Chains A and B, each alone.
Chain A
Amino acid sequence: MTRRQLWLKFTEHIDPLLLLGIVLLMLTSLLVLYSADNGSWNRPLSQLANIAVALTAMWLIANLPLHYLMRTAVPIYLTGMLLLLGVALFGEISHGARRWLNLGVATIQPSELMKIGVPLMMAWYFEKHEATLTLRNYFIAALLLLLPVGLIARQPDLGTAMLISASGFYVLFLAGLSWRVISGLFVAALASAPVLWSLLHDYQRHRILMLLDPSQDALGKGYHTIQGMIAVGSGGILGKGYLKGTQTHLDFLPERTTDFIFAVYSEEFGLLGNLILLALYFFVIGRGFIITANASTYFTRLMSGSITLTFATYAFVNMGMVSGILPVVGVPLPLVSYGGTSMLTLLLGFGMLMSIETHKNLVKT
């Protein structure tokens, strides 16, 4: 094989447009991390390592043919459920929540696995029953969603539980759940809000109340929101300039390399920068939708649609939380926040999108 052939073989299953969007966001991440870490290379370099690992995983998944992808659904879901049960029974408590499982060699957070596992399982289920879909099937799929979500909400990790619910709901929605049921669910959700409120942990209620009036707890949870809004607001239209954010560099911003990294970005690059970032996200999301529209099977349509919509939800929830319209739930800004686990989970998803796109002609419909 010539070098060119080798290169073609290597990139055969990579979607160049999607990769472009992802890489641009990753570059943004490194740029902002350098500033957020007060001009140190520590975080950017270790983020680079995270990126390398995640891109490799993405490449592997992208090269995986679709029928293999489908075959992984049940094992991944069952493993995830077992681990979640393990966490509930023997999990390690950290920061007041039982989220981690110590396997001896490493501690893992099984809810992270379920971010992929749940939509995968639901899409698999719908594909199996494609020919004969009735309301009963939607009900069973909803159960497949609610079991893990219930376990995760109990840990308690409300943020992740809500995000997984969203990704599962997207599968139901794309699978054609009737509008009647959707509006019924909506009404039921509204009606059960008081009940849910009473089930929440104190700190969760606290966070929601803080959103209404952050100044109530200026030293505690409200501090995050106040400082985040000051950073975003003071950025103005053009921003204060790279490495010149006073909120960031005078140590006012908490968690500025992880959940609040958007505040750093927004302070230094302003409204203009925000528009560029939104455009970048929309570019990735748009490509995801195109891949979804062209997907060849029921399973891949549902899966790629859910992955894309979930990605959009992450971005919205994080930016909404930093700019003070959503409670602080601990969701990172996708592809930008520092952290290896979320980077890996996201790129596994994008790897699936690429596989779906590049293998579609090999599948007979």
Chain B
Amino acid sequence: MNKHVELKNHQREIFYFRLRLAISIGFVLVLMAILLVRFVYLQVARHEYYQTLAESNRISIVPIVPNRGLILDRNGLVLAHNYSGYTLETTPSNTANLESTLNELSTLVDITPKDRKRFNKLLAERRNFETLMIRNRLTEEEVARFAAQQYRFPGVEIKARLFRDYPYGTQTAHLIGYIGRINQTDVDLLEENDLAANYRGSDYIGKTGLEQSYETELHGATGVEQVEVDSGGRAIRMLSRTPPSSGNTLVLSIDAKLQEIAEQAFGKYRGALVAIDPSNGEVLAFISKPGYDPSLFIDGIDPQSWDELNNSPDVPLNNRALRGQYPPGSTIKPFMALAGLYYNIRSPNRTISDPGYFNLPGSSHHYRDWKQGGHGTVDMFKSIVVSCDTYYYGLATEMGIDNIYNFLSRFNFGKKSGIDLEGETSGLLPSQEWKMKRYRQKWYAGDTVSVGIGQGYNLVTPMQLAYATATLANNGIGYKPHLVKEIRSSRTNESRLIEAHQEVDMKLDPAHLELVKSAMAAVTQPGGTAVSASAGATYSIAGKTGTAQVVGMKQGEKYDASKIDERHRDHAWFIAFAPADKPKIALVVLAENGGHGGGTAAPIARKVLDYYLLGKLPKPLVELPENEEVEHD
């Protein structure tokens, strides 16, 4: 009986399942019927309409690439613009024999080996159906000669295009950056951000510098034209047109003339300079030396030039101002002094007696002062003026790494300054936690000692140090540094001003600031480490020198510049702001292998200050002395 019921249930179950299955078949048939109806609609009822669109008069949707926005300096001088010119281009898929075509072309148009190499590189990287440039900037004569012979070269054509030009070239290379041909990585990134549609037809995109950081502002909105084309692809009639709108114009806070003067002031030295208006964070000059010719990159750099740039021992492609990380050396001392006052570790008047070295209690290791025999009796004021190492060894040890870390990180040491350029590095402000994470070691008292004079683990970028100097100049109120101060819309001609953004107000004690700043002003006076900086100046300059060691010294060894390979000599720092009592400009100079800050970096700073504050142009450049006997700081 029981068995019978179960069996019956089973049969019922099968019945219901097959019913459901039948419904499913019906469902599939309905779906197929829907498709069929749609196909009949498209392919029979609307066939002629689509036929017209596709066959005899294909509608071609032609993107119209917008003009890229300009980049101007604060006074309206042009730093990046577009000009129109003729290029010789080919569509490889329509050209039978590329090699012989190129050979024949070179009888009409000058094609250099560099052009050929670049062309071959483009050929290897090309995307489908892309036209590739053989030569740019054709002369009128070359255009005429080719035009007469064009019938011989199917698939090769002359095109009028807009080119990007950087009038200041090398001088603004690290600042403005450059645009380059869109490659697969760019395409992926654009698709990821859903921007691919706006780049249809665009060949170029910002690759580095401001061209990259402000790509969305500069590119503009692509227009679209619907045209009827015949079967050969020639346009017959325009159906509709949405005009493109040009990219926006960037107005920088950079002063191009100041930039030029600063760049030239470096002479033969490599290095970096960043000048900031401390009252609002506007960057006035931004140098990384050596630079490079940005125009090389726009249409793909030829392999030879690339090798030269890439393998040069001067690393011209490295943006030192933004990405170069160096020990701050003695430029850290004013900040350390402020920290000492803030934590009440040192009163201004407390003096130490400097024997020329420092040792930790119970240790015989000598941390040497740069001056053999020491500076005698030193208070805080003097410690900055003569850059006494022993004073700061002791101060750092008493303060402890935690306090140092907490105070200095408020000046953005160890953090990015937040400037509107991509790729900034953050430097390194060591802490107990950092050392444990990095080396799996605890922090030793000895580590703190050298941190006090900006050696040891510390690393800063010139950009970061410039921000910190500007913040100090502005009494502890820091503004986020920025290069773009205004964005002008190309369509409405409206301007968007970039507001100064206050990063921090450290609420420092005015008396503390007064002490440190007046000591910095005395640095450039007789008795200080940078006397040359203010000789004959009609305004006061507050500054601090510094040296960043490139190679370490053994215990008891003496640094002698003349005996060391030039590239192993110390880097020279100078940080400054002026006028000292009411700063209008704060700057950082780094001269690589420049030896001593006061000797090489400070004179560069002086030229920049003279022009900015007095409008004074430097005398025709005098070669900087190479092995000047100067005191080490």
Binding site for B on A (CB under 8 A): 93-96, 170, 173-174, 176, 202-203, 217-221, 223, 229-237, 246-247, 250-252, 266-267, 270-271, 274-275, 278, 281-282, 285-286, 289, 292-293, 298, 301, 305, 309, 312-313, 316, 319-320, 323-325, 365
Tell me which of B34-42, B102-110, B335-343, B529-537 binds A.
Answer: B34-42
B17 touches A176 (CB 8 A): yes
Chain A nearest CB, measured from B478 CB (Å): 34
Say yes or no: A219 contacts B43, CB within 8 Å. no
- B31 CB within 8 Å of chain A: yes
Q: Known pairs A230-B50, A233-B42, A266-B43; list 7 more (Cβ under 8 Å).
A: A95-B188, A229-B42, A236-B51, A250-B233, A282-B32, A289-B25, A325-B38
Name the residue among A93, A275, A301 with the largest chain B CB count within 10 angstroms: A301
* A281→B29 CA distance, assembly (Å): 11
Contact B197 A237 (CB under 8 A): no
Contact A95 B192 (CB under 8 A): yes
> Closest residue of chain B to A219, judged by CB?
B197
Residues of the B chain whose Cβ atoms lie less than 8 Å from the Cβ of A301? 17
Interchain CB contact under 8 A, B54 and A247: yes
Partner-binding segment picked from B55-63, B364-372, B541-549, B598-606: B55-63
Contact B36 A278 (CB under 8 A): yes
Which residues on A sit within 8 Å (CB–CB) of B248? Answer: none
Pairwise interchain contact A231-B54, C-beta atoms closer than 8 A? yes
Q: Complex: how many Å from CA A345 to CA B83?
A: 54
CB distance from B203 to the nearest CB of A (A): 16
Distance (Å) between the CB of A234 and the closest chain B CB? 4
Contact A233 B49 (CB under 8 A): yes
Report the bound CA distance from A274 to B536 in whole Å.
Answer: 91
Interface string of B223-239 (1 = CB under 8 A from A): 01010000101000000
> Which residues of the partner chain A approach B16 to less than 8 Å between Cβ atoms?
176
Quick check: A237 and B28 within 8 Å, CB to CB? no
Instruction: Please give, as numbers and ranges, the residues of chain B lying within 8 Å of A230 by CB-CB distance.
Output: 50, 53-54
Task: Tell me the nearest residue of chain A to B14, going by C-beta.
Answer: A301
**B193 within 8 Å of A by Cβ?**
yes
- Is A232 a contact of B20 with CB atoms below 8 Å? no
CB distance A219 to B193 under 8 Å?
no
Question: Which has the most chain B C-beta neighbours within 10 Å: A219, A250, A266, A313?
Answer: A219
Name the CB-closest residue of A to B32.
A278
Given contacts A96-B192, A223-B61, A316-B32, contact A235 B43 (CB under 8 A): yes
B43 in contact with A270 (CB, 8 Å): yes
Q: Mark interface residues in B70-88 (1 if CB within 8 Å of A CB, else 0).
A: 0000000000000000000
- CB <8 Å contact, A220 and B47: no
Contact B47 A236, beta carbon cutoff 8 Å:
yes
Complex A-B: 8 CB contacts under 8 Å: A96-B191, A170-B24, A220-B197, A230-B53, A237-B44, A250-B233, A286-B25, A301-B17
A205, B196: Cα distance in complex, Å: 17
A325 to chain B, nearest CB (A): 6
List chain A residues, Cβ under 8 A from B25: 286, 289
Closest partner residue, chain B, to A267 (CB atom): B54
A246 contacts B21, C-beta separation under 8 Å: no
Set of chain A residues within 8 Å of B191, measured between Cβ atoms: 95-96
Which residues of B, 283-315, contact A by the 8 Å Cβ criterion? none
B44 touches A323 (CB 8 A): no
**Pair A278/B20 contact, Cβ less than 8 Å:** no
A289→B21 contact, CB < 8 A: yes
Please give, as numbers and ranges, the residues of chain A lying within 8 Å of B224 by CB-CB distance. Answer: 218-219
Minimum CB distance partner of A306 in chain B? B24
Q: Which of A202, A251, A274, A289 contacts B129 (CB 8 A)?
A: A251
B47 to A325, Cβ gap below 8 A? no
Query: Complex: how many Å from CA A293 to CA B18?
Result: 6
Cβ-based interface call for B568 (8 A): no
Contacts of A365 in B (CB 8 A): 10
A242 to B146, CA, bound (A): 39
Q: How far, in whole Å, are A138 and B50 apart by their CA atoms in the complex?
A: 48
Distance in Å: Cβ of B354 to nearest Cβ of chain A: 55
Cβ–Cβ < 8 Å partners of B128 in chain A? 251
Ordered nearest first, which 7 A-B pairs have the shortest CB separation? Answer: A233-B50, A220-B197, A234-B54, A233-B42, A234-B50, A316-B31, A271-B43
In the docked arrangement, what's the CA distance between A235 and B196, Å?
29
Residues in A neighbouring B28, C-beta threshold 8 A: 282, 285, 309, 312
Residues of B within 8 A of A176 (CB): 16-17, 20
Evaluate contact between B58 and A232: CB separation under 8 angstroms: no
Q: Which of B21, B46, B61 contacts A292 (CB 8 A)?
A: B21
Task: Count chain A CB atoms within 10 A of each CB in B21, B34, B49 and give the residue with the most.
Answer: B21
- Cβ–Cβ contact A289 & B61, under 8 A: no
CB distance from A311 to the nearest CB of B (A): 10
- Would you call A293 and B43 a contact (CB within 8 A)? no
**Distance in Å: Cβ of B600 to nearest Cβ of chain A:** 47
**Considering only CB atoms, which chain A residue lies closest to B52 in the complex?**
A234
B427 CB to nearest chain A CB (Å): 28
- Residue contact A94 to B192, C-beta cutoff 8 Å: yes
Instruction: Give Cα distance in the complex from A344 to B417, angstroms.
Output: 51
- Pick the contact of B55 from A96, A223, A246, A251 — CB < 8 Å? A246
A64 to B51, CA, bound (A): 51
For B192, the chain A residues whose CB sits under 8 A away are 93-96
Residues of A within 8 A of B20 (CB): 173-174, 176
Contact A246 B24 (CB under 8 A): no
Chain A residue with Cβ nearest B62: A219
Given A174-B24, A309-B28, decide whether A319 and B35 contact each other with a Cβ distance below 8 A: yes
CB A145 to nearest CB in B, in angstroms, measures: 18
Residues on the A chain within 8 Å of B560, using CB: none
Report whether A232 and B39 are in contact in the complex, using a CB–CB cutoff of 8 Å.
yes
Q: How far is B34's CA from A274's CA once the two chains are assembled, in angstroms? A: 13
Partner of A234, one of B32, B55, B63, B226: B55
In the complex where A219-B222, A234-B53, A305-B24 touch, is A325 in contact with B34 (Cβ < 8 A)? Answer: yes
Complex alpha-carbon distance, A50 and B39, angstroms: 30
Give the complex CA separation of A221 and B200 in angstroms: 12
Q: Does B194 contact A (CB under 8 A)?
A: yes
Smallest Cβ-Cβ distance to A252: which chain B residue: B58
Chain A's closest residue to B30 (CB) is A316
Which of A230, A267, A286 has the largest number of chain B CB atoms within 10 A? Answer: A230
Which B residues touch A231, using CB under 8 A? 54
Contact of A218 among B24, B27, B50, B226 (CB under 8 A): B226
A232-B24 in contact given A293-B18, A323-B38 (Cβ < 8 Å): no
The smallest beta-carbon distance between A13 and chain B, in angstroms, is 23
Q: Which residues of A contact B39 (CB under 8 A)?
A: 232, 266, 271, 274, 323
**Distance (Å) between the CB of B244 and the closest chain A CB?**
11
